[in-house]
Amino acid sequence: MDQRIDIDWTSCQGHGLCAELLPEHISLDEWGYPLVSGTPLPARTLKRARRAAADCPVLALKVTGADRKPHPRS
């Protein structure tokens, strides 16, 4: 499953930090709320996407989906 960005609209307050941290996937509407591209996140942007989610002042941003990395077996 591909990883994507999801926004919790009940929490989002339109601070816009997510668009600054991940401009290739998030833009802002005329009121300052994020618009997500909806495309799967390339592996090269996953770290920045997770950082954007962690830095959201109200934790309204989430990276969803399964990692493509295989899990080590015990």
Give the tens place of pLDDT for each residue, 27-50: 999 999 999 988 899 999 999 999
pLDDT of residue 37: 86
Least confident interval from 6-15, 17-26, 65-74: 65-74
Beta pairing partners, 62 = 6
Domains in the chain and their CATH numbers?
A: 4-38+51-64 (3.30.70.20)
* pTM for this predicted structure: 0.79
Report the DSSP beta bridge partners of residue 37: none
